[in-house]
Chains A and B, each alone.
Chain A
């Protein structure tokens, strides 16, 4: 290692490069002792991040990222050695490859188990990194998909740690991410295959996780997400997922859930943009998706009679009838919850119910784990469900 470090710090450029490649190879080892053997080199790897040779910096960053994953000892050394300020300088580089590598290294640092206590509060949030990250996520001609993907994931890990999401919101995270979502939907509609779907997952998660924070009263109106185009954009993405990657539907539906949970205006958007039927089309995909679709519908229904009127009967009726024949307890439970809300605000719903009590129970054997319901608004239905 002494030799390697000597070569790394020599003034012979090509030797330096080769030494850096050796270190990079070593950093791939899955044994933490090997990573720890590279400790003498880390101060130099960090020093070189302030240089100008983009290939070399890229290599140093990937090496650092790999070392960070393998060993907590390495991380414990890198922090006092100033990795965060070094990254804050390096993130201003104009080179795309450098930025991608930086995003990778940072994302590994942020996933460390000690990150929420030791790394994010004191170092990351105190630096200019979050602002730079958000800048790199701004939609527009300068947006680079590969770079944006890395920093979207970094942002996701920071938000997940729940250290200070309010601060991120004051930096404009919600509006940046919202606009980025619109951009993504646009790209997907133009059927561009720029790798943008890789960006969808972290952006959806970031938005979903920030929304509950933004709903807090003290946040102030201008910090909240109010752009209703987000709902339309989300549905475009949901359609895209339905065709290309159904496993990502829960990510999108989670955001829809959080958008509609506390906001009557987003529920209104859902109705006025005629998105209930596309939503119902997602029901057959899987149980998990069904539960989430029904949860969103519950969010709409609980906003009041005016909303319930728009929901019922329409296509919702046949979907619900179909669903109640499912044997999955969670799906049935959620659909009953929706029914209960509809009965609450629109008692005449009971009149539409076509099943006789015996048919209902034959089709769906009542599992003992399902909680007992009493629906008191409609006498007919109360007799159906009382156990």
Chain B
């Protein structure tokens, strides 16, 4: 079970002023950590005065963490399918559907149908992949923004940005949400083009939907041939927008890049 550092609750012993018995001065003092009494003052003698508050907190947390660890009892509902056109995933619990929706239909690029975990990453993707003005500007100034929340650094190329993220932010070199554009740099391992050493990861990558999720059983079909999926995705013209689940992007008549 996870606790605060150490096995016993942290104790904050108040520091008391000596208040020399002859002086009788005021005694307002702060509560510091047990091992760091302010200089020149004596700590409460014997066991800390305030241990029970920490014990209470510790027990409360233990309770909470136990509850979180248990698999939630999700109320089942009659099976229903996802309403986003082209996606026929079926659910029998609302929480599952909520997560599916946010993951696959929440932040989706309207050009390449790639789904992103957050609006922030989607915005960066659209700028860097589908905005020709960005391409022009990036030749003159640093435009590739660091993807880490809170970091405002910008870089000339996506490779420079990636180096920064790996070096400074300790991000993995194969961070899944920072794939350079295929026609820019060296071909990176992409779904279907498993030339790289990380074949296992490629299998997983095939599950990444540029198109809508395949309507077959979820897990087993990790080896769906690319050709089939491409055919499937061509059925939906890129100019069609599907209502509330619609992905955002620039309105453009340019055809989708079909090189995936």
Please, which residues of chain A bring their CB within 8 A of the CB of B103? 11, 13, 16, 51, 53, 56
Task: Closest B residue to A82 by CB, please name it.
Answer: B148
In the bound assembly, the distance between CA atoms of A111 and B28 in angstroms comes to 25
Please, which residues of chain A bring their CB within 8 A of the CB of B31? 160, 205, 208-209, 254
Binds B, one of A64-72, A178-186, A226-234, A273-281: A64-72
Whether B57 and A153, one on each chain, are in contact in the complex, defined by CB atoms closer than 8 angstroms, is: yes
**Would you call B168 an interface residue if the criterion is a C-beta within 8 Å of the partner chain's C-beta atoms?**
yes
Whether B27 and A261, one on each chain, are in contact in the complex, defined by CB atoms closer than 8 angstroms, is: yes
| Closest CB in chain B relative to A373 CB, distance in Å | 7
Within the complex, which residue of B56, B117, B151, B200 is in contact with A50, where a contact is CB–CB below 8 Å?
Answer: B117
Binds A, one of B61-69, B128-136, B238-246, B252-260: B61-69
Please, which residues of chain B bring their CB within 8 A of the CB of A371? 21
| Closest CB in chain A relative to B166 CB, distance in Å | 10
**Would you call A12 an interface residue if the criterion is a C-beta within 8 Å of the partner chain's C-beta atoms?**
yes
In the bound assembly, the distance between CA atoms of A104 and B66 in angstroms comes to 13
Whether B53 and A70, one on each chain, are in contact in the complex, defined by CB atoms closer than 8 angstroms, is: no
Whether A302 and B26, one on each chain, are in contact in the complex, defined by CB atoms closer than 8 angstroms, is: yes
Residues A162-220 near B (CB distance < 8 A): 162, 198, 201-202, 205, 208-209, 211-213, 215
B150-183: CB near A (< 8 Å → 1, else 0) gives: 1100000000000000001111100111000000
Residue count of chain B within 8 Å CB distance of chain A: 75
Whether A14 and B2, one on each chain, are in contact in the complex, defined by CB atoms closer than 8 angstroms, is: no
In the bound assembly, the distance between CA atoms of A85 and B138 in angstroms comes to 26
Task: Closest B residue to A153 by CB, please name it.
Answer: B57
Which secondary structure characterizes the binding site on chain B? loop
In the bound assembly, the distance between CA atoms of A111 and B8 in angstroms comes to 13
Interface centre among B14, B21, B104, B148 (most CB of A within 10 A): B21
A53-85: CB near B (< 8 Å → 1, else 0) gives: 111101100100110011000000100111011
Whether B118 and A47, one on each chain, are in contact in the complex, defined by CB atoms closer than 8 angstroms, is: yes
| Closest CB in chain A relative to B205 CB, distance in Å | 8
Task: Closest B residue to A206 by CB, please name it.
Answer: B31
Binds B, one of A24-32, A131-139, A316-324, A349-357: A24-32
**Would you call B115 an interface residue if the criterion is a C-beta within 8 Å of the partner chain's C-beta atoms?**
yes
Which secondary structure characterizes the binding site on chain A? helix
Please, which residues of chain A bring their CB within 8 A of the CB of B100? 13-14
**Would you call A265 an interface residue if the criterion is a C-beta within 8 Å of the partner chain's C-beta atoms?**
no
Please, which residues of chain A bring their CB within 8 A of the CB of B170? 43, 77, 80-81
Whether B57 and A53, one on each chain, are in contact in the complex, defined by CB atoms closer than 8 angstroms, is: no
**Would you call B83 an interface residue if the criterion is a C-beta within 8 Å of the partner chain's C-beta atoms?**
no
In the bound assembly, the distance between CA atoms of A113 and B34 in angstroms comes to 13
Please, which residues of chain A bring their CB within 8 A of the CB of B44? 288
Within the complex, which residue of A59, A85, A198, A212 is in contact with B30, where a contact is CB–CB below 8 Å?
Answer: A212
**Would you call B137 an interface residue if the criterion is a C-beta within 8 Å of the partner chain's C-beta atoms?**
no
Whether B207 and A198, one on each chain, are in contact in the complex, defined by CB atoms closer than 8 angstroms, is: no
B2-36: CB near A (< 8 Å → 1, else 0) gives: 11110000101010000101101111111111000
Whether B49 and A162, one on each chain, are in contact in the complex, defined by CB atoms closer than 8 angstroms, is: no
**Would you call B95 an interface residue if the criterion is a C-beta within 8 Å of the partner chain's C-beta atoms?**
yes
Whether B53 and A80, one on each chain, are in contact in the complex, defined by CB atoms closer than 8 angstroms, is: no
Residues A299-348 near B (CB distance < 8 A): 299, 301-302, 330, 333, 336-337, 340-341, 344
Please, which residues of chain A bring their CB within 8 A of the CB of B168? 80
Whether A299 and B27, one on each chain, are in contact in the complex, defined by CB atoms closer than 8 angstroms, is: yes
29 contacts between A and B (CB under 8 A): A6-B201, A9-B176, A10-B204, A11-B207, A16-B99, A27-B2, A28-B2, A44-B176, A48-B118, A51-B106, A51-B118, A59-B68, A69-B5, A81-B169, A82-B150, A82-B169, A101-B68, A111-B5, A112-B5, A160-B31, A160-B33, A212-B28, A250-B50, A257-B29, A288-B44, A302-B25, A330-B45, A341-B24, A344-B24
Interface residues of A (CB under 8 A from B): 2-3, 6-7, 9-17, 21, 24-25, 27-28, 30, 40, 43-44, 46-48, 50-56, 58-59, 62, 65-66, 69-70, 77, 80-82, 84-86, 88-89, 100-101, 104, 108, 111-113, 127, 149, 153, 160, 162, 198, 201-202, 205, 208-209, 211-213, 215, 245, 247-248, 250-251, 254, 257-262, 288, 292, 295, 298-299, 301-302, 330, 333, 336-337, 340-341, 344, 371, 373
Interface residues of B (CB under 8 A from A): 1-5, 10, 12, 14, 19, 21-22, 24-33, 44-46, 49-50, 52-53, 56-57, 60-61, 64-65, 68-69, 71-72, 95-96, 98-100, 102-104, 106-107, 115, 117-121, 148-151, 168-172, 175-177, 200-201, 204, 207-209, 213, 218-219
The list of the 8 closest CB pairs from A to B, nearest first, reads A85-B150, A261-B28, A247-B52, A50-B118, A13-B100, A261-B26, A201-B53, A6-B204
Known contacts A65-B2, A104-B61, A302-B24; 8 additional CB pairs below 8 A are: A2-B200, A10-B208, A50-B120, A80-B168, A85-B151, A104-B64, A208-B31, A260-B26
